Every structure is written in C-alpha cells, then in structure tokens.
A and B are shown apart, each in its own frame.
Chain A
Amino acid sequence: MTKKRTGVFVCHCGTNIAATVDVAKVAREMAGENTVAYTQEYVYMCSEPGQESVVQAIKDNQLDSVVVTCCSPNLHEKTFRDNAQRAGINNFTCEIANIREQCSWVHNDKAKGTEKAIKISRSIVRRVNRNKPMDAIAVNVTRRAMVIGGGIAGIQAALDIANAGIEVTLVEKQATIGGRMLQLSETFPTLDCSQCVLSPKMVEVKRHPRVKLLTYSEVQEVTGSVGNFRVKILKKPTYVDPDKCKLCDECTVVCPVVVPNEYELNLTARRAIYIPYAQAIPASFTLDESACLGLNPIVCGKCKDVCEADAINYDMRPETITEEVGAIVVATGFDLYDQENMPEMGGGKVEDVLDGLQFERLCSASGATQGHVLRPSDHKEPKDVVFIQCVGSRDPAKHCAYCSKICCMYTAKHARLYKKHVPDGRAYVFYIDIRSGGKGYEEFVQRTMEDDDTLYLRGRVSRLYRHNGKIKVLGTDTLSGQNVEIDADMVVLALAMVPSKGTIDIAKTLKIGRDKDGFLAEAHPKLRPVESVTGGIYLAGAAQAPKDIPETVAQAGAAASKVIALLSQSTLSRSPLIAKVRRSHCTGCGMCVDACPYTAIRLEGGKAVVNEALCEGCGSCSATCLRAAIDVKNVTQLQIHEMIEACLA
C-alpha cells in the first residue's frame, strides 16, 4: 500500500473551537502524523474562501484524503465531501473530526481541550488512512407518495403533492377524513366555522384524480427505504357499499344497538350502523363490526332489510392492499391527555367536567345539542362555567413538561363562544400565563377579557368536586393572594395535547424516532423540522409537536414540498457506507437479523446476508455481533481498533 497523502484542515469556528482548543497546536501535531502531507487552519472552514482553500490545497498537494476537524459531521460532512469531489478525489475519503460538539463546547480547560482535540483528530487521521474510495449506489425512485392520517395536515399534504402531479394515497384509520379539525366548532382568532373551512378541502381530496383515498384503513407494515417503500395496508370492512348508500338514514332507525359515539367524544350515543358526521367523506354509513349483533340476517339483519339501495353487504371482508411509494408523510395527529391521570380534576369521574373537545361539540351546530351549550347531566344552561388552562401541561413533576401551545387561545375562544350562547352567564378562566403569540392572537385574548367580561384568575386549581348540585372549584388567585372558591355549573379542562395512539403505533411500524414527550422526532430541530430521522419519511401536524391549524397547514405544505423535491428525481444516490459480512467469521446466530431496524439482514445458508437496498449503515448489527463478523464499510474493526489506539496513545 502506497502511503496516503492526507490533508488536515483545522477550523476555528470563530471562537467556538478556538477559545477552548489551541487550533494551531492541533494543526502542528497533525503535521507530525506519518500519513499527513498537508495541514492548514482557518477561521471559518465552511465559508466560501475556506472551502475554496480546501479544494485548492487538495489539488496543489496531490492529496488523496481529507480530514476536516470542525463541527459535527451532521452539519458539514456533506459540504466537505462535495469539496473533495470537486477537487477530483473520491468523496468517501473525506472524514470529519468533531472537535466542537465533542470537545470545545463541553470543556473549559484549554490545555486539556487541546489535548483531547488532538486525540480526536489523530484518530480520524488513522481512520481515513484505511478508508476505501467508494461510489454512491444509485436507486430508482417510485414516483408515488403516501400520506398517513386524514386530518387537516394529511389532507393539505395530499392535495399539495397531488397538485404537483404526483399520485398520492391518503390513508385514514377512521370512517371519515377530517380528523380533529372536523370536531371543532369555531376556530380562533377569526371565529370562522371549522367545518365550513375544512369541508371544501375534504371534497377536493375526495374528487382529486391523483388522490387515492383509503378510509377505515390502517398501515400494518412498511419495508424498504427512501425512494422505494412498500406499505401493507389493512382496509377494514364497512359492510356498506359507499357507492350505493343513499344516506337515507333508514338503517339507523331500525338498528337496535346503542353505543357511545366516539366522534361526539361520548357525549351522545350512536347505533352500530352510523355516519360520523353529516359532512363525512366518504359520504356513507359504516357498520361497526364490534357493536353489531353479528353481521348475520338470522340474528338481526334489520338494516339490510330496510336498505332500499341494497348497500349493506355482510360478506365484506378485510382487504390487504400493498402500495409502493417513494415517500411517506406522517400526519397522525394528537389526543388529549387522559383525564384519568388528573385525580385533582375529578379524574374523569365528576359529571359536567368536560375536556376542550367535548366543549367544542357542545358549541357546534352539528353537535349533540345542536349548538346550545347545555350541561350533559341535566340539559340545563350552565350559568357559571370555569375554564382551567394547563391541565397536565407545564407540570414536569407529575404530567407533561411541555406547553401544549394552543390552550390559551382555544380557552379564550371557548369563553367567547360560551358568552355568545349564554349572554348572562359568567365565565372564569384559571391560567398560569397567557401565551398568545401569533397574528391577531393577543388582540383576541384581550377582547375576551374586556369585551366579553371573562374573569381571568392567575393561579391553579387544587381540587374540584360535586357539592349541592354544583361543582365546587377550589383554586388560588396568585395576583390577589387569595384562595378562590367557585360553585360552577360546568368545568372545561384545557388538557395537554399528547401524541395520538395512532402516532405511537405508526412510529413503531415506520421505525421513526419519538422525542422525550412521545411526539415524532424531527431530524433537526431548526434546519430539518419536517423530516423524520428516516430518509423519505416526513412529518406534518400535531403528531410532531402541539401546534394550531395555520402552523399545521404550513408544515403540511412544507412536508409536501420535500416529497415533491424528492420525487422529482428519477434516481437517488444512496450512501455506499453499508454493512458487509465477513463470511468466514459468521456463525449464523442471527442476532444481527433481530438487531437490524431496517430488516436489511437475512440468513441464507447459515450466514448473514445484507440487502444493500435496505441497509442504512447504522451499525446496529456490527455492535451486536459477538464475532466481529459484520462491519460497516469505512468503519471496519481494524479502523475502530486503530482509532482507539490513537486515542489511548
């Protein structure tokens, strides 16, 4: 092997690195390495002149490999690999030594920081010494997309992608698309009707020639990777043919089964055969298998008898549909934090204590009370209503640490809606702070306080319970320093937003990460907020973090644009840095098969075999293998050994 000619480029990163690391010394030390032919330091290596100097130095000094000691490879590995390629050498002979995040940012002592930076840099110089030049793997792209979740985020993303000329499959678990937004009465800060705003989009998505709508369907399995996913979807039977159903409603009249209506958040009941809302899309009834007496004309069969359109078919069976797509948008939304977790707020057991969504249904013209605010317990108009903010939110000790972001606004909206419906009623709001950042938001809250005469009390509620037909609410007003006792007719809790159960499930199916609060994790908090950590999978809406409708729509559009950009290419280049089996060492124990998050490894003839199209080069297999029989290319056992040696020397 001829001796390598490595160039080492030490970046100051302004003072980010230079303040804690003697960069000149790092460069001097690296110059002493056997394989290093050139060293250079510069204040901002990633700047245009910095990059040019790297290219020039490679050409001038006949370098065949490059080490840039700077920030995390997450940020600039691609930058400098591209530069290596521009200078005419293979881009995979360029590596980053991270002396910022892993050194200068976490240390104070300059002497020790310098020593560590030297060790890190030296280890990468040794690693690069054994890097092999490689070519990216080209893969064809499937020019179709899938959106999972049919709420406003999913609808918007599907429409945007479809309008760019790409076919989309929109998968929704419920019997109708529309999601949470369809349950809302009015939206802040304009107080326009939520369904009126949403339903044109629902109709559009239904009629769009490039959108394939799969409702009452769940994603079961996803294989493949960016550009080429294979998705298995289970389409549950609705037992009603949507093309034949005339929406005459005769079936619900005769259906003998009554169950709580989950679309009305259990405020009302529905039959086993039902339509979620008048605006449901697809506009068809659905027969709930779990509630029906048995899908059998001998047992009941009343709905089938009355259906003149002959739309009901008990023989419908679940269908598994396989779709091949190049990109996926996940828009699976949120749930509210379970009231059972809040015993001080009644734990869901005190009558007339509602959550925000239930209150929306009370206010909604299409809701249980046709838009009259009535107490669920006795259908009387409540005269004293207490709204409590931050229920479960901002409580790191017991519940969710984060702010659910939209509760300040929708509580103000609730108070206003209530006053509109019950002008002589009194509304009280318990709050910690008012967070009303957003266009027209602060003015909206101010109007609620001033015009609508809502009493805002700064403090928390310690307890509530039933007392003499009222709900006794005990709280504190921290501004006056007094304890407050209110006899309320109704209490509305602004419960924390949590990732929906579907979000948690889909994260497992897609193998995309979740953050500490359980929401889907974005690839970078600032620069890649709509990408998941897995290539080709994008995020939209409240599944990623609590957000309001405008933000959700904006994020859905952003995710769609990422999908469009990805699918506008005919081929993708995949990193060639993937796992490779050393067959002589493999005993076929299969641990790597279990450890691989991408199902990229299988056993064949008693040995592990890597599927190059699926491997992401994460190295889980390599870390698991007891026999060092599987390596990631350019991160081989020998390289790791020499890196450790360089660090310990």
Chain B
Amino acid sequence: MINVQDIRDTARDMLTKGEVRAVIGYRRGSRGMLAEPAFITDPAQAGDLVWDPTCFHNLSLYLVEDRKFLTHVRKTANAPIAIVAKGCDARSIVVLLQEHYFKREDVYIIGVSCEGAGVVDERKLAPHLNGFQATNAAFDGDDFVFTTAEGEKCLPAREVMADRCLECRIPFPKEHNIVFGEDKTGRQLAEPFAALTRFETQGTAERWDFWSHHFDRCIRCFACRSVCPMCYCDECVVDSITFPVTTETTAEDKANRIRWIERSAVRSENITYLMTRAMHLAGRCTDCGECERACPVNVPIRLLNNKMEREAREQFGFEPGASIGGPSLVASFLDNDPGQFIR
C-alpha cells in the first residue's frame, strides 16, 4: 500500500531544495471524490497531494504543455519538473522521450504503482450509488470503498474499475526516479484486449452498424486530442485551423495548406479523423484511456487504439513505451518481419 504522506514528503523536500521547479500531481477536486491535476511550486502546498483510485488523469500531458509554453516564450528550464506517474503514464513519458520531445533530465518521475488496482470508471460506478455522490474513494487491496451520504459502500474492484485497468498488463512505472508501491504485475483481472476480443466476435455488418452509430455521434470537439499527451503536433493533420504560422512559413505554404478533412462533423469526416488518429497513435498509445474518458458522447475510442496496439504486439512483439532507447513501431523493421517484401 502506498502511504500518500511519502509522496507529499518527497515533493516538499525536492521543492524546498530547489531540485525541481514544480511537482505535477493530484489533489482533491471540487467535485465530490474526484482528484484533479495539481501544479505545485510552493513546498507548503505539498500537503495537498493525494493518491487514490480517482487519480485517472495522465499528467504527462502537462509535460507537453510545459514544453510548448517554454518554446513559446523562448525560455529554457532551469530545473526539471517532477511528475506523479502511474504505469501507463510513465510509458507515455517514455514514448515522449523516445521522440526527443524533452530530455530525460528535464523530468523527475515519481512513479506510483497501481498495485493491481487501477482507477475507477465513473460511468460504471454511478449506478451503484443510488443517485448519491461519493466524497471519498479508497482501495483496500481487493475492493474499492466509497464514502457517500449513505455511509461507506464496498464494491468489488472488477465491477467499477476502468476497462483499461482490468486489462492492464504492466501496472507499474518501470521508468522512474523514485517509486512508491509494490510491483504487482501479473495481477490482472481480465485478459489483455478482452473488450476488443469480445467486440471482434461480431460479424462485419454488426461492427459496421456499431461504428456507424458512434461515428455519427462524434461532435468533433477534439477532447480526445486535447487530453492525449501523444497529440502534441502544432498542426494536426486533420485540422487545418491550427496551421502554425511562424517566421519560416512562406506565402506559398499558407496558400497551399491542405485540408485532408472537412470541418463538418459528419460520418465520413469523423471516420477519417478517428481512424487517422488511431494510425498516428500506433506504437505510441500506452492505453492510458484518457481519450475515452474525456469523450462527452462516449465514443469507445479505446477499441480503435487497442486494435492497433494488439496488431503491433502480435505482428512484431511491440510494446509501446517499453524503453527510452527502444525502436519506434513505424520507423523500425525486424529481420524476421512477417512481410517478406521488406527483408
């Protein structure tokens, strides 16, 4: 079990000594039990940090935001930034490091093991609470315990845990500077890719109906893109609104900007957007599940990303975010590649 005080002490200590310029972690939010991202620069506030099963945000997003900000104001960081990272989040950081988005010394990873639990899926929890709001969530090693106005409610982890946590193969941040909690890799509650496998038992027609339904509902709010640490491009290939105009942008560039996708939220354009995103995340997505959680209309985006992840795993034995020096999926090839044409 993780004692949250250890995380607070570490954060306070590092901030006091000036070893890091900020700590990105979780604190109690303003809405019931849920945690929210916290950006702590004052050692006195280190006590606000929390660690519980509602810490679902992938905070590595803010490392990306931080670098974007620094680039924008043309400054370099004088000290690293510390970040609380779960297994999946730490793998995201590794992918960012693989892609040279920042340097290893720019970040201090405070790893936290999920210890075989994971995070709560609010949508799964709601029906269990009889309309009440939970004010606190905890994990006792086997079950989740929620505090509501009715009192404490104990629920088996597998009933309210997020799907990706049920299927998680590596709930431990291998890449870290310091780590809290035990490595309980192997204690997974569902087969990897269980939801995808279940989904794929259906026929082509059913699957097409399913996706048509969801693609029709996407409102292209781009919440999935905004919440994703891997979607850090200045200009998104599907969206010419974010076209970056820099000193190096020529008049011809401006005139010839390509609109691969129309802006209207209709099925054909939505398909292209979501499919392109899945392709661009192949080998990079660490299944932190934030895109699906952030989606206001509940498009099951993880299924798309999972599909790519499973293909990469089955075809090439590829594990995203496994090591900083490791190869990237699309830029490397194996001598025993299953496709003969490439050898």
A residues contacting the other copy or chain, number (CB 8 A): 26
**Which residue on B lies nearest to A603, using beta carbons?**
B100
B151-159, B209-217, B221-229, B330-338: which lies at the interface: B330-338
B260 touches which of A590, A626, A641 (Cβ 8 Å)? A641
Report 6 cross-chain contacts, Cβ distance below 8 Å, ordered by A residue. Answer: A583-B248, A584-B249, A585-B235, A587-B234, A589-B328, A595-B332
Contact with B along A582-610 (1 / 0, CB 8 A): 11110111111111000000010010000
B331 touches which of A516, A591, A637 (Cβ 8 Å)? A591
Q: Does A463 reach chain B (CB closer than 8 Å)?
A: no
Query: A594 vs B332: C-alpha distance in the bound complex, in angstroms?
Result: 6
- List 8 tightest A-B contacts by C-beta distance, closest first: A589-B99, A594-B331, A595-B331, A591-B331, A584-B248, A641-B258, A584-B246, A638-B256
What A residues does B232 contact at CB under 8 A?
587
A590 touches B233 (CB 8 A): no
Q: Is the interface of B mostly helix, strand, loop or mixed?
A: loop
Interface centre among B100, B246, B331, B340 (most CB of A within 10 A): B331
CB contact under 8 A between A626 and B233, given known A508-B335, A591-B328: yes
What A residues does B99 contact at CB under 8 A?
587, 589-591
**Which residue on B lies nearest to A638, using beta carbons?**
B256
What B residues does A637 contact at CB under 8 A?
258
What B residues does A641 contact at CB under 8 A?
258, 260
Which residues of B pack against A, CB within 8 Å? 98-101, 232-235, 237, 244, 246, 248-249, 253, 256, 258, 260, 280, 327-328, 330-332, 335, 340, 343
A367 CB → nearest B CB, Å: 36
B237 touches which of A513, A590, A626 (Cβ 8 Å)? A626
What B residues does A35 contact at CB under 8 A?
none
Query: A589 vs B328: C-alpha distance in the bound complex, in angstroms?
Result: 10
A579 CB → nearest B CB, Å: 14
Beyond A508-B335, A516-B340, A627-B237, 9 additional contacts (C-beta under 8 Å) are: A584-B253, A585-B233, A589-B98, A590-B100, A591-B99, A591-B331, A595-B331, A638-B256, A641-B258
B100 touches which of A508, A583, A588, A638 (Cβ 8 Å)? A588
What B residues does A589 contact at CB under 8 A?
98-101, 328
Q: Does A375 reach chain B (CB closer than 8 Å)?
A: no
What B residues does A627 contact at CB under 8 A?
233-235, 237
What A residues does B343 contact at CB under 8 A?
513-514
From 494 to 519 in chain A, residues with beta carbon under 8 angstroms from any chain B beta carbon are: 508, 513-514, 516
B100 touches A592 (CB 8 A): no
Query: A582 vs B249: C-alpha distance in the bound complex, in angstroms?
Result: 9
From 545 to 582 in chain A, residues with beta carbon under 8 angstroms from any chain B beta carbon are: 582
A620 CB → nearest B CB, Å: 8
Q: Does A247 reach chain B (CB closer than 8 Å)?
A: no
**Which residue on A lies nearest to B257, using beta carbons?**
A638
What A residues does B256 contact at CB under 8 A?
638
**Which residue on A lies nearest to B281, using beta carbons?**
A626
B75 CB → nearest A CB, Å: 15
A591 CB → nearest B CB, Å: 4
A126 CB → nearest B CB, Å: 13
What A residues does B331 contact at CB under 8 A?
591-595, 624
**Which residue on B lies nearest to A588, using beta carbons?**
B100
Q: Does A628 reach chain B (CB closer than 8 Å)?
A: yes
B244 touches which of A516, A584, A626 (Cβ 8 Å)? A584
B280 touches A626 (CB 8 A): yes
B329 CB → nearest A CB, Å: 9
Query: A624 vs B328: C-alpha distance in the bound complex, in angstroms?
Result: 10
B198 CB → nearest A CB, Å: 30
B250 CB → nearest A CB, Å: 9
A594 touches B235 (CB 8 A): no
CB contact under 8 A between A594 and B258, given known A514-B343, A587-B99: no
Query: A508 vs B343: C-alpha distance in the bound complex, in angstroms?
Result: 8
**Which residue on A lies nearest to B232, using beta carbons?**
A587
Query: A603 vs B100: C-alpha distance in the bound complex, in angstroms?
Result: 10
CB contact under 8 A between A587 and B233, given known A508-B335, A516-B340, A595-B331: yes
A117 CB → nearest B CB, Å: 26
A624 touches B330 (CB 8 A): yes
From 368 to 417 in chain A, residues with beta carbon under 8 angstroms from any chain B beta carbon are: none
**Which residue on A lies nearest to B327, using beta carbons?**
A594
B328 touches A594 (CB 8 A): yes
**Which residue on B lies nearest to A593, using beta carbons?**
B331
What A residues does B280 contact at CB under 8 A?
626
A627 CB → nearest B CB, Å: 5
Query: A514 vs B343: C-alpha distance in the bound complex, in angstroms?
Result: 6
From 590 to 649 in chain A, residues with beta carbon under 8 angstroms from any chain B beta carbon are: 590-595, 603, 606, 624, 626-628, 637-638, 641
Query: A626 vs B236: C-alpha distance in the bound complex, in angstroms?
Result: 9
B165 CB → nearest A CB, Å: 28
**Which residue on A lies nearest to B245, using beta carbons?**
A584
Query: A514 vs B341: C-alpha distance in the bound complex, in angstroms?
Result: 9
**Which residue on A lies nearest to B335, using beta carbons?**
A508
Contact with B along A95-118 (1 / 0, CB 8 A): 000000000000000000000000
What A residues does B237 contact at CB under 8 A?
626-628
What A residues does B101 contact at CB under 8 A?
587, 589
A606 touches B332 (CB 8 A): no
